[in-house]
Amino acid sequence: MDRSASDPKSVQGNPAGVATKFVELASMETSPGLYGETTRPYLELPQPVAELLSFRFVRPWLGSLPVLDLGCAAGTYLRHFSPGSVGIDVSRPNLEACRRLGLQTALADLNQDLPVESSSYEVIFCSHVLEHVDAPIHLLRECRRILAPTGNLVLGLPIENSLVNRVRGHRYFLHHPGHLYSFSLENIQALLAKAGFEVLRFYFEPRILRTQWWLDLMQRLPSSAMYTFALGYWVVARKRSEDLSAVGVTL
């Protein structure tokens, strides 16, 4: 795909200055035959998502700039972002739900190269998506390409082996067949470093005790300890100016 193509892709809502960030897609159809086996289950799957309590901590990192929301689902987070923000998803029900909310969306398969121009966004938001894609490091490298210099990436991730899940008898892969990967703190730091990012901050989501004081305390205690007690976590990372993807990085 030629990312420098001058013809913009159709973006729902199509405000001035937004559509030009997208390049032409070969097709806007959601025919199952166009997609791989890990994408096809999501084509007609509506995904209402409950907003996480800990989102309030990552929201300030997004600022007042337009945000590219990868895997925007039904717009749970996209509706909070600044004008000019765009959500990408492959699910037709999700995109229709976003349009009913007046949100700008585009159809794309996150397992493929993204139809977005390089260095076109200051902020990318990607919540509970990375564990579903075929090649997480490919998506992270696409995020780096799309981000402007020193742009921020906000990732939301579930936790496989937390104490909470063990107590609940929750089986990360068995109960969520769409989960292909699980990311420890060390693992996601290594992947982000190889993709050309530096981690700035972790935030954690409670499961059982959901009071404000515990939510605040979780963000102040050591990340390695909170990982055990959390339902999921956020990673805030910044694009490095130099390309570290081709060199070894020691954490």
First to last CA, the chain: 34
Q: What is the mean pLDDT of the chain?
A: 82
Q: Calculate the alpha carbon distances from 201 to 15, 145, 153, 217 in Å.
A: 33, 21, 11, 15
Query: Which CATH number is 26-239's, of 3.40.190.10, 3.40.50.720, 3.40.50.140, 3.40.50.150?
Result: 3.40.50.150
What backbone phi and psi angles, to 5 degrees, belong to 200? -100, -35
pLDDT of residue 207: 78
Q: pLDDT tens across 112-157, in order?
A: 999 999 999 999 999 999 988 999 999 999 999 999 999 999 999 9
Domain edges within the chain: 26-239
DSSP 157: E
Query: pLDDT (tens digit, 9 = 90+) per residue, 17-35?
Result: 455 577 654 344 555 667 7
> What confidence tens digit (pLDDT) does each residue in 221-248 have?
999 999 888 889 999 999 998 754 444 4
